[in-house]
Structure 1
Amino acid sequence: MTDSLHEQGAAAPVLDPSFSTEIVADGRADAPEAVLAHDVAAEPAAPEGPHPFAKLGLAPELVAAVRDLGYIEPTAVQTKAIPMAMPGNEEQDASAAGFVDLMVSSQTGSGKTAAFLLPVLHTLLLQQQREEEEAKAEHARLAAEAAARGEAPPKKPRRVNPTQSRNFKAAVPGALVLCPTRELAQQVAHDAIELVRHCRGLRIANVVGGMPYQLQIARLQNANLVVATPGRLLDLQRSMQIKLDQVRFLVVDEADRMLDLGFADDLAEINQLTIQRQQTMMFSATFAPRIQQLAARVMREPRKVQIDSPQQKHANIRQVLHWADHASHKRALLDHWLRDPAIQQAVVFASTQIECDGLANDLQQAGFSAVALHGALSQGLRNRRLMALRNGQVQILVATDVAARGIDVPTISHVFNFGLPMKAEDYTHRIGRTGRAGRDGIAVTFAEFRDQRRIFDIEAFTKQQFQPEVIEGMEPTRRAPTAQPPRGGAGRGR
């Protein structure tokens, strides 16, 4: 997922991704400087019409941020979902204050993150402006009454430091985005900060596990939008550090992964805590039956938006399969590929944490700039290694599936499946780490002959058949299987 802002437009820039695990931005000083996607032409440009994102009905501040980020045209999922997610369009009825619940399915790299962030931020911005106008009108009324009595006008309340204990109040965000992994939550929060750079006073907070509570509690103060993983969010709610009864917009990102990781009970609890919300949006790779069941419990007659499916081919990603005789053969094939000078940066996926650490150490010993990333590492170390990857200080990231969603580095040119994914659907999320921002990518899978069943499962899920390739001098000694064996039958019984 994840589908971040860098996934749009071939000329999308690599922005400075420096951000902490707990992210707060108010749209003024905290957001980084804009980086233009291309140099400004020397000769004056012709007058431009409305920006394509403005045609979606978005606030001018958000359109300005999108323009600064260098994005020209909204993607298909954004064109369809954004207008439906905003209040008052012709497809909506008057129930639930003009909002409808949405179930959105679109493949990795299609821009789903902006598809839910932009309408939520737009509505929060309108609410903030309305509250400011009401506050000004109330102050003007009180001033007029005071003047009629011959008294001095009332003073505006002084601004206090919310980080001081005497000024502490539990956070009451208006919007909540739930993500299954810390890395994805960080990426979504970072994208939200990029989008509120022109929105004065709109604040974003990121809540994930593995970080000090006190720092996160301080960063939560006055947050309008909270991006969180369910576990840490509920910990803070139970300790009365955050109240969720004022949440009006709930987004569940990567709902299928949420259920895979066992968050069903947490989602049910959060559903009850935010029961007064006006809108729920759920983003998932598929509309599988379990996702339909979850939607039935937490949504009101949701509208479905399915732009494409995981089975549709990644047109800009070349997919390669190499059959190997054994683990050492796989390791030799990987080493051959990694010495290709065309590789900018790469992600090598391992099946287990032990395999991940061992492979990263082997690559370091072989002279590669490589680091490991998996769930057993501390959050601080995971942050530093991801930052090193984003800054170009590391060429190869060796990761488990914890990194399959939430990594958005446009310069990742190759993805290697050294260990096969446990679930066939995770294959599409893995290879979606390359070919981002309109670039071309290569996804290489290494499989031993004992893994042929899992390869067939991936082919069945993606509805695409691998065309095995060989490297001269490194051919497997066994003949590669060419067709999926029949399931069941007498042969299976024997």
Structure 2
Amino acid sequence: MTDSGFSALGLGPQIESTLARLGLTTPTPVQLEAIPLLRDNHDLIASAPTGTGKTAAFLLPSLVRLSEAPKSRSIGPRIMVLTPTRELAQQVAQAAKSFSGGMSRVKTVCVTGGESYREQNRLLAAPHEILVATPGRLMDQMQSGHLDFSRLEVLILDEADRMLDMGFSEDVLAIAAKLPEDRQTVCFTATLSRSIQDLSHRLQREPKIIEVKAQVSNVDAIDQKVVYVDNFGHKRRLLSHWLADEACGQAVIFTGTKRDAEALAEALDAEGHAAVALHGDLQQRQRTRMLNQLRRGDARILVATDVAARGIDVPAITHVFNFDLPRFAEDYVHRIGRTGRAGASGVAVSFVGREDIGVLRRIERFIGRRVAIDQVEGMEAHFDPNERRGGGRPFEARRGGYGDRRPQGSFSGRREEGGFSARRPEGDRKPYGDRSSERPAFADRKPFGDRPAFGDRKPFADRTASPERSATSGRGTFSDRPAFGERKSFGDRKPFADRKAPGFGAHREGLSAERSGGESRGFGERKSFGDRKGFGEGRPSGFNSDRPRRKFEA
């Protein structure tokens, strides 16, 4: 038996020898706690941050199980690991192959999106013991009937919190429903949230819970800085300044969207930095090529989104830049964990604008400490982080704020007579009933019951119109008009062409007579459009100049 720290965990000489060959001699805290529980066949929820050796914590006891004979004969997997991203799935699959290197008849298959269905179908059709997959592609393979779970013994959910954040909860439950009920279910997560506990109630049986408190110390090992920025251009200048520093080796820059990742990588590459973008829209072969470029040192800068960056393990990364702050505080820990790995030091720089102050405060509450403020000489931000959103002075320093309110009664200080300060004190005012008014008091008005009822009022036709209205309109009152039944029908009325223009008032008739040089003509006496002269005919030359014009008087 190899004299290593793993010997006390009972993994067996074959696995211990492989670990020694890989340079793994001392188990991490999460491995010390999780491996014995998993060896005893307990369901488990393990909360541990990234970079603490959790992959080996769930793979090593699973390999011990594979050294025993299966319960049933089949070609399907005995161990299945679900991960949220393709990169993490590939990383877990590679670790499984490395740890099982000294074992016979242990084959690992990785099923993720972006790969050929044909090749995956060929691999799944052959006997295999370990299956590492992402939920989406696994659901596709299940629906096509290419999977056999009859001998599955262990289901492992890696980065379970991230799978829930990405909306895979329904897929995970659907997959679990197709698995044997007597399986062992293991859940590894960076945060022990309420959603994780709810998922556990639906999938696990009396799980053991362990929580490794290495998260804060892991964060403390990284030099974290906050740099305030005014706008996008200011942020870009600061990023170029930091990247030009000789102390900055390889770096990962996090953006909020895939489009921003592409645009920023192209801009940095144009500036002379060897930059590549990593996001969810890339094909798997493109992702693998870019990660290999980063590992070989061919690329110095990786611009990535949160989802795509899960599983990136490059020891040479010295700096992490939060070009855009993450939506969730947990993602901040995952991001900065890309640096300072394997005991190395690292630097994490977060650019914070006015609209990011609230997000920064949530991150600080999550990690349990304030992040140090840094600034570059000559490139300081102009906004004050203590200002209210929208600009201006802090609330306490404003007029009317908590520290500068005027005595009650002056209100704004700009009202003179008649303002609030000029009003009489409350006790000197007259009671409401004693105040005088030009309008009769409410009590002197006639009660509503003394007014004539609606049915006693005169009919509308008997009312007389006001003299002013009759004189203005030239019309009689409603009572002078014939009743509706006595009016002439449309057939008895004169045709429209025979009517004269008594029209719309006397001024209309006079105006018509003035224009025609005499008596106003009815519509029937006027010439039709076809009989009139053309626009330019019949008018003397200089018509407009000879025509007397009216003068506008002020």
Q: TM-score, normalised by structure 1?
A: 0.76
Query: Counterpart in 2 of 1:66?
Result: 19
SS of the residue 2:25 aligns to: coil
SS of the residue 1:259 aligns to: helix
Return closer, same or farther for 1:383/1:434 CA change in 2, 3 Å cut-off. Answer: same
Decide which of 184, 192, 203 is 2:88's aligned counterpart: 184
Residue 252 (str. 1) matches residue 145 (str. 2) = no
Residue 472 (str. 1) matches residue 377 (str. 2) = yes
Question: Is the Cα contact below 8 Å between 1:250 and 1:277 reproduced in 2?
Answer: no
Residue 406 (str. 1) matches residue 359 (str. 2) = no
* Unaligned runs of at least 5 residues, structure 2: 402-554
User: CA offset at residue 297 of structure 1?
Assistant: 0.2
Q: Describe how 1:153-164 pairs up with structure 2 within 5 A.
A: none
Residue 127 (str. 1) matches residue 127 (str. 2) = no
User: CA offset at residue 312 of structure 1?
Assistant: 5.3
Alpha-carbon distance between aligned partners in 1 of 2:208 and 2:388, rounded to the nearest angstrom? 39
Return closer, same or farther for 1:185/1:336 CA change in 2, 3 Å cut-off. Answer: same
SS of the residue 2:311 aligns to: coil
Alpha-carbon distance between aligned partners in 2 of 1:219 and 1:443, rounded to the nearest angstrom? 41
Query: Counterpart in 2 of 1:265?
Result: 170
For residues 305-347 of structure 1, the C-alpha deviation after alignment (integer angstroms, 9 at most, x for no partner) is 1111645552321111100111111111111111122223111
Larger Rg, first or second structure (1 or 2): 2
Structure showing greater relative contact order (alpha-carbon pairs closer than 8 Å, 6 or more residues apart): 1
Residue 290 (str. 1) matches residue 290 (str. 2) = no
User: CA offset at residue 477 of structure 1?
Assistant: 1.6
Query: Counterpart in 1 of 2:28?
Result: 75
* Unaligned runs of at least 5 residues, structure 1: 1-47, 88-98, 136-169
User: CA offset at residue 429 of structure 1?
Assistant: 0.5
Decide which of 243, 246, 253 is 1:338's aligned counterpart: 243
Alpha-carbon distance between aligned partners in 2 of 1:190 and 1:333, rounded to the nearest angstrom? 38
Alpha-carbon distance between aligned partners in 2 of 1:278 and 1:50, rounded to the nearest angstrom? 33
User: CA offset at residue 214 of structure 1?
Assistant: 1.0
User: CA offset at residue 126 of structure 1?
Assistant: 2.6
User: CA offset at residue 375 of structure 1?
Assistant: 0.8
Question: Is the Cα contact below 8 Å between 2:90 and 2:110 reproduced in 1?
Answer: yes
Query: Counterpart in 2 of 1:443?
Result: 348
Question: Is the Cα contact below 8 Å between 1:249 and 1:277 reproduced in 2?
Answer: no
Question: Is the Cα contact below 8 Å between 2:222 and 2:345 reproduced in 1?
Answer: yes
Question: Is the Cα contact below 8 Å between 1:246 and 1:276 reproduced in 2?
Answer: no
Q: Which amino acid aligns with 1:181?
A: T
Q: Describe how 1:5-404 pairs up with structure 2 within 5 A.
A: 50-87=3-40, 99-127=41-69, 171-220=75-124, 221-308=126-213, 310=215, 314-404=219-309
User: CA offset at residue 49 of structure 1?
Assistant: 7.0
SS of the residue 1:332 aligns to: helix
Mean alpha-carbon deviation: is it higher for 474-483 or for 302-311? Answer: 474-483
SS of the residue 2:343 aligns to: coil
Identity of aligned residues (%): 44
Return closer, same or farther for 1:327/1:111 CA change in 2, 3 Å cut-off. Answer: same
Aligned residues: 392
Alpha-carbon distance between aligned partners in 2 of 1:313 and 1:307, rounded to the nearest angstrom? 11
SS of the residue 2:287 aligns to: helix
Question: Is the Cα contact below 8 Å between 1:311 and 1:464 reproduced in 2?
Answer: no
Q: TM-score, normalised by structure 2?
A: 0.68
Alpha-carbon distance between aligned partners in 2 of 1:208 and 1:222, rounded to the nearest angstrom? 18
SS of the residue 1:301 aligns to: coil
User: CA offset at residue 207 of structure 1?
Assistant: 0.5
SS of the residue 1:280 aligns to: strand
Mean alpha-carbon deviation: is it higher for 250-259 or for 50-59? Answer: 50-59
SS of the residue 1:73 aligns to: coil
Question: Is the Cα contact below 8 Å between 2:149 and 2:180 reproduced in 1?
Answer: no
Query: Counterpart in 1 of 2:435?
Result: none
User: CA offset at residue 52 of structure 1?
Assistant: 0.8
Return closer, same or farther for 1:408/1:56 CA change in 2, 3 Å cut-off. Answer: same
SS of the residue 1:126 aligns to: coil
SS of the residue 1:437 aligns to: helix
For residues 465-487 of structure 1, the C-alpha deviation after alignment (integer angstroms, 9 at most, x for no partner) is 1111111121112234499999x
SS of the residue 2:219 aligns to: coil
Alpha-carbon distance between aligned partners in 2 of 1:359 and 1:324, rounded to the nearest angstrom? 17
Question: Is the Cα contact below 8 Å between 2:2 and 2:17 reproduced in 1?
Answer: no
SS of the residue 2:342 aligns to: coil
SS of the residue 2:288 aligns to: helix
SS of the residue 2:282 aligns to: coil
